[in-house]
Structure 1
Amino acid sequence: MLSKLSMAVRRFIDIGANLTDPVFRGTYRGKKAHPDDLDQVLKRARDHGVDKIVVTGGSLEDSQSALDLAKSAVVVEKDGISMPQLYSTAGCHPTRCQDFVRHPAGPDRYLDALLELIKSNGEKIIAVGECGLDYDRLHFCPKDVQLTFFEKQFQLAEATRLPMFLHSRSAHDDFYDILKRHRDSIRGGVVHSFTGTPDEARALVDLDLYIGINGCSLKTNANLLTAASIPSEKLMIETDAPWCEIRPSHAGYRHVATRFGAATRKKERWEAGCLVKSRNEPVAIVQVLEILAAVRNEEASRLAERIYRNTIDLFFADL
C-alpha cells in the first residue's frame, strides 16, 4: 500500500518512539481494535530508511518493557524482511517521579534498580531517560518531586557515562539551571520533543546539548522559526510515536511531501499494510525531515545525513 522512498540515500534514526504502547499491539484504552501490527510498523519504517529506533522508557517498569522489546528484535532479518535495530532508554519521566516516592523499598532503591538495569544491559540501553521537568502536567507529579528526582537521575548518567534523553515542558529556567550545574559531570544529551523559543534552544546548544525535533516541535509558525534557528550539527529527529503526529492543521504540514492519506485507515477498519489514523509511527520521521529541510532551506538528503551522523556520535559511537 505504501511505496518506498526513491531517495535511498536517506538514513534515519528515530531517537524517541514509545513502541511499548498497547496501540502497537492493536489495543486502545483497554479494548482490542485490530491485530498486533508492530512488525508491519517496523517494516514500514525500514522501507523508508529508518535503520535504528530508540524505544523510550518512562519508569522502571516501562524501561524494562522497552528493553525487552529491544532485545526481542535483535534479529535484523525476520522472515526475509529487513527490520530496524531497536535500542532503549532507562529512566523516570517527570510526570511519573512519584514512583520514586511510592517504591516499597524507598527512592534510593528505585534509583539503584534503574542503575542495575542499565549496567546489566549496556548493549541495548543507550541513554538515561526519559527524564526532566514538565510543569504543564503538575497534576501528575508536583514540582518539588520532579525537581528532586530529575536531579537524582544525573547520578545514573555519571555512573554509566551514558548520554541523557531529556524532557522539558514550560520549565526552561529550572531545567537549564539543573543542567548547567551538572553539565561537566555528564557525557551529554538531547532535549527531545523541543517546543521552546530560539533563545531557549540557543542556551541548551551553548551547553553542548542536542535538540530533538518531532511533530510537536513543528505545530506553529513560532515553532518553525525555532527549528530553523538550531545549528544543523546539534539537530536530531524523532516521532515520539504514537504521539506527536503531524496534522494538516499544523504550520509545518504545508512542507510535507510524503503523505500517507490513501494508505491510512481508522482503527476500526484496520487493514494489513495500512497506517492507523491518528496513531503516529516511525515511518513518519520522513515528514519531520521534509519540514525541517524546507524551513531551513536545506537539501533534505544532506540534512538527513548530518542528523544521522549527529545521532551516531551521541548514542552509538561506542557500540
Structure 2
Amino acid sequence: MASRGTLRFIDIGANIADPVYHGRYRGKQAHEDDFLQVVNRAKEYGVEKIMITGGTLSESRHAVAETKLDDCLYSTVGCHPTRSVEFEQKARSPDDYLRQLIDLAKKNKDKVVAVGEMGLDYDRLQFSPKATQIKYFEKQMELVHETKLPVFFHCRVAYEDFGAIICRHRDIIPGGVVHSFTGTKEEAARMIDLGFYVGINGCSMKTQDNIDVMCSIPTDKLMIETDCPYCEIRSTHAGYKSIKTHFESKRKEKFDPRYMVKSRNEPCTIIQVLEVMSAARDEDPQQLADAMYDNTMKLFFGGEAKSTS
C-alpha cells in the first residue's frame, strides 16, 4: 500500500452539511458539534479538498455557508431528483426556485465548483414521481447553461431516460460526473461515451458484480468519493477483505471527538475506497489515487495542479 503521507484525495461527494456532523440526529442534539474534527481527520488521511453536496435549495445554501469554515471545502448547488417536488412547494414558482439556485451559484463562484446533485432516481419514486423528476431535471439544464459549471449527476435505475435527456442538452454541458455509480458495464460505457466521469464509493462496490463494473471503467474516467454519512464499506461487502486501514468508532451516546461516530461515514474513509478499488483492479494505489486526483482537478478545479508521484 502507498504511504498514507503520499496519497492525495478529493472527495467529490460528501454530505457533510448533514446535521449529524453537528451532533444532531433526527432533530435532537446527541453530542457536541464535531464538524471541524471530521474535516481535520480527513486531512490526516490525504483529503485535500471536499465537495459538499447540495441536494435542495436550502441544503445548497447550507453547503455554501459551510465552505466558509475551511479552505479545503467547496460545494455543489442543485436539486436532487428525489427532492424535485420542491420546485413546486418551496418557492413562489418553479422559475423562482431555479432563479435562487442560479443566484446562489453565481454569487459564490469561489466556492461553488459544480451544479447538482441533479438527475433521475427511479428506485425511490415514493419521494418524487417520474414525470416530476424528468421535468425538473430538464429545467435544471438552465442552471447548467447560466453558470457554465460542470455537473454532479445522480442516476439510479434510469439510465435510458437519463441518456435521452443528456443527449438533448449535451452541447451546453461543460462536463460532469455520474456519482455513486451502481449501474451495469453497459451503462457505465454509455456514461463514458457521453463524455462523463464515473464516481465510485462504498455503495458502488457492495457486490462482486458491482466491483466487476468498476474494474471495466478506464482509469482516466474514474473519480472517488465517500457519499458520507452514507455508503460506508461494511463487512458484508464484497471488497471488505481488501481494506487495510481501519478506523475505531464509538456510538454517539459515548461520543469522543478523537474517534468516528459508529455508522456515520466520514471523508477520511476515502482511503478504504481506494484500497478496495486498487486491489480489485490490480493497480498501484498511489498511481490510481494520483490519476483520480488529476481527473477531479481537471473537471472541477480548472486543472490548477497536478499530482507529483
Give the TM-score of the pair, scaled to structure 2: 0.96
1:12 equivalent to 2:21? Answer no
1:218 equivalent to 2:205? Answer yes
Q: What residue number does 1:140 align with? A: 127
Match of 2:251 among 247, 266, 284: 266
1:275 equivalent to 2:260? Answer yes
Amino acid at match of 2:61: Q
Equivalent-residue separation in structure 1 for 2:61 and 2:91 (angstroms): 18
Q: Cα offset for 1:135?
A: 0.7
Amino acid at match of 2:298: D
Report percent identity of matched pairs: 53
Structure 2 matches for 1:37-76, cutoff 5 A? Answer: 37-74=34-71
Q: Cα offset for 1:160?
A: 1.3
Equivalent-residue separation in structure 1 for 2:150 and 2:288 (angstroms): 23
Match of 1:247 among 215, 234, 238: 234
Amino acid at match of 1:48: Y
Structure 2 matches for 1:196-211, cutoff 5 A? Answer: 196-211=183-198
Q: Cα offset for 1:318?
A: 6.8
Match of 2:106 among 116, 119, 132: 119
- State how many pairs are aligned: 303
Equivalent-residue separation in structure 1 for 2:129 and 2:58 (angstroms): 21
Equivalent-residue separation in structure 2 for 1:105 and 1:45 (angstroms): 39
Q: What residue number does 1:312 align with? A: 297
Amino acid at match of 2:28: K
Structure 1 residues 173 and 290, CA, compared in 2 at 3 Å: closer, same or farther? same
Deviations 1:35-58 (A, max 9, x none): 111111111100110010000001
Amino acid at match of 2:251: K
Q: What residue number does 2:138 align with? A: 151
Equivalent-residue separation in structure 2 for 1:52 and 1:68 (angstroms): 16
Q: What residue number does 2:82 align with? A: 95
Equivalent-residue separation in structure 2 for 1:233 and 1:172 (angstroms): 22
Q: Name the SS of the counterpart of 2:68 in structure 1.
A: helix
Q: Cα offset for 1:291?
A: 0.7
Q: Cα offset for 1:6?
A: 3.7
Q: Cα offset for 1:73?
A: 2.0
Equivalent-residue separation in structure 1 for 2:232 and 2:32 (angstroms): 22
Structure 2 unaligned residues grouped into runs of 5+: 305-309
Q: Cα offset for 1:272?
A: 2.5
Q: Cα offset for 1:28?
A: 1.2
Equivalent-residue separation in structure 2 for 1:104 and 1:242 (angstroms): 28
Amino acid at match of 2:192: V
Q: Cα offset for 1:159?
A: 1.6
Amino acid at match of 2:235: P
Q: What residue number does 1:303 align with? A: 288
